[in-house]
Amino acid sequence: MGQLAAISRYVFGHVSERLGRPVRFVQIGAHDGHSGDPIHDFILRYGWQGLLVEPVPFLFADLKQTYRGVAELVFENCAVGEEAGTKTFYAMRPRADAPVTWHSQLSSFDREVILKHRDEVPDLERYIEEIAVRTERLDQLLDRHSIWPDLLVIDTEGHDYKVLRSYDCTRHRPQIIYFEHRHLQEDERREALALMMRLGLIAIFDHENCLALDAQAVPASVLTLIEEMAGSARPSIALNAVPGHAAHFATVDALSARVAQLERAQKALLGSTSWRVTAPLRGLVHLLRGVRPGSAPRSRPGA
């Protein structure tokens, strides 16, 4: 389990214990309710109440089966978008001979997002099926079911920011928003993180997901831990803003790539036998040894 996943589970558990009532949640892209699901265990353990939305018919049937007999849950077989209506959706066909167990989690409004996984799923195109799905705005769904969530969870394979735009979060701001930014366009990623800041939420993100939360939802010790993780030499998480800290939007992947680049440059410099490249290092050594700068260096064998 990655650091962000572990932090998320801690936060979900903390809120469940301290809220004094069942957590109210909305999950967009609920899939089958258990495969890689970040909130499944909490729904069952703490009796969370909420709305689960899934557009793919066979996954929707599995979702309802997963939570059969669980009270205070409502289900919608639709997708969420900026406009209500009907739209083409690219669903992954259910197949017993699928090369990976998670192929059904790739369904998306964007076929190109699915095709990013060609190297991981042989003959990926064979599993894609175009279907027409009903779309609803998130604010309309919340009004219809009279649900104002403490927690909003979104996993829609590249559509997450459009889901966020279909709901006026200032009307009722969730304490926690958990969404996938991995497949967003760069401008959408920046705008999504900027939205979290405008809402006054701390946004913690790794290379796939973002956990945005009200500082009051977690103890100060957790915020301190998050800051330490984000400020470590080789972080696996980063954060956008904490009171008293400058905002930054650098992704962990970009930071790690930069660190790796600097380490390679350092290694090349230290291992170089070039008299010109290593001159600054030799000059430093001479100074440390008390040799006057500009004095002739000792001759090297073969020089």
| Sheet with 128-136, side-by-side order of all strands | 79-80, 128-136, 85-92
pLDDT band at 244 (very low <50, low <70, confident <90, very high): very low
Q: Dihedral angle at the C-alpha atoms of 110, 112, 114, 115, nearest 10 degrees?
A: 170
Residue 300 reports pLDDT greater than 50 = no
Q: What is the largest CA-CA distance in the chain?
A: 86
Write down all domains in the chain, each with its CATH number in brackets. 3-252 (3.40.50.150), 276-303 (no CATH)
Residue 213 reports pLDDT greater than 70 = yes
Buried b / exposed e over 121-149, threshold 16 CB at 10 Å, is: beebeebbeeeebebbbbeebbeeeebeb
Cα 155 to Cα 26, 90, 130, 152, distances in angstroms? 11, 15, 19, 10
Specify the pTM: 0.74
Rounded to whole angstroms, how far apart are CA atoms 249 and 166? 23
Buried b / exposed e over 17-29, threshold 16 CB at 10 Å, is: eeeeebbbbbbbb
pLDDT top residue among 18 and 42: 42
pLDDT band at 283 (very low <50, low <70, confident <90, very high): low
Residue 27 reports pLDDT greater than 90 = yes
The C-alpha angle 181, 258, 249, rounded to 5 degrees, equals 35
Residues 142, 168 contacting (CB under 8 angstroms): no
High-pLDDT (> 70) share of the chain, %: 69
Q: What is the pLDDT of residues 116-152, one digit of tens each?
A: 877 777 777 778 889 999 999 999 999 999 999 999 9
Residues 202, 242 contacting (CB under 8 angstroms): yes
Q: Residue 127: what pLDDT?
A: 81
Average pLDDT, the chain: 78
**Which of 45-59, 164-178, 256-270, 284-298 comes out lowest in average pLDDT?**
284-298
Q: Residue 111: what pLDDT?
A: 77
Q: What is the pLDDT of residues 79-117, one digit of tens each?
A: 999 899 999 988 887 765 665 566 667 778 777 777 787
pLDDT band at 59 (very low <50, low <70, confident <90, very high): very high
Q: Residue 132: what pLDDT?
A: 95
Q: What is the pLDDT of residues 163-207, one digit of tens each?
A: 999 998 888 899 999 998 988 888 998 899 889 988 988 888 888
pLDDT band at 162 (very low <50, low <70, confident <90, very high): very high
